[in-house]
Amino acid sequence: MKIYDDSKTFIVNSRIETVVGEVKDIMAKASPYSDIKKLPDLLDNYSILYTTMLTEMEVPVQAVITEARQRVNDDLENKECKNLFSKQVADRFDELEEKASSCNNVATLQNIKVEADALKVRFLNEISKEEARLIAGKEPVKPADDGKGGEHEPPKSKVKTYKTVSIKTINTEATWRIETEADVDQYVETLKDRLKQQIKDDVILNVEF
């Protein structure tokens, strides 16, 4: 019942709710002794219904993990730092998949989608930073003529870096309620302002949806 209470916001199943109601009625009685014999069948029924629902809800969660893993692997392909990150990416996303497979709590299961998105963004930023470092280390520095027959080191050109953010961190509203064109303009302007706040010199912003 504790697991159910933690997850009931995400559970829309009248059969489960009915069984839970009967179990809680027995638990709430001051003298439940004559009804205790009903509990094994009720709990078996609950277990079957809950497990079936959990299995169905796991499918889209695993799909989110797979999509996030693929996005990171696609970005890592042909990168100088691929060997450094390949195992880390595989291990961390394997952990998430196992966590989803073994989870017995609907609320925790739903939160794994948020973890997958956060892990994707983290890896994309780490890969971008490491790749820039490796490329900068390989670029030869050619001395420039100082105009007096001597040579000096040319000024280093600024290198643009990539920063990845999730759209969820930009658009914090879970729902847009739109009745008029003015509502559309208001939401778009708010989104535009938040995107502008992310803009920095020499940074290319990648927004992940």
Q: Using the predicted structure, report yes or no on whether residue 150 has a pLDDT greater than 60.
A: no
> What is the mean pLDDT of the segment spanning 143-165?
63
Q: In 3D, which of 128, 78, 92, 105 has the Cα closest to residue 7? A: 105
Q: Strand, coil or helix: what is 63?
A: helix
Lowest mean pLDDT among 40-44, 70-74, 94-98, 131-135: 131-135
Q: Are strands 151-152 and 144-145 parallel, antiparallel or unpaired?
A: antiparallel
> What is the rounded average pLDDT for all residues in the chain?
88
pLDDT over threshold 90, residue 135? no
Indicate the pLDDT class of residue 151, thresholds 50, 70 and 90: low
For residue 202, is it left (φ>0), alpha (ψ between -120 and 50) or beta?
left
* pLDDT computed for residue 202 by the predictor: 75
pLDDT value of residue 83: 94
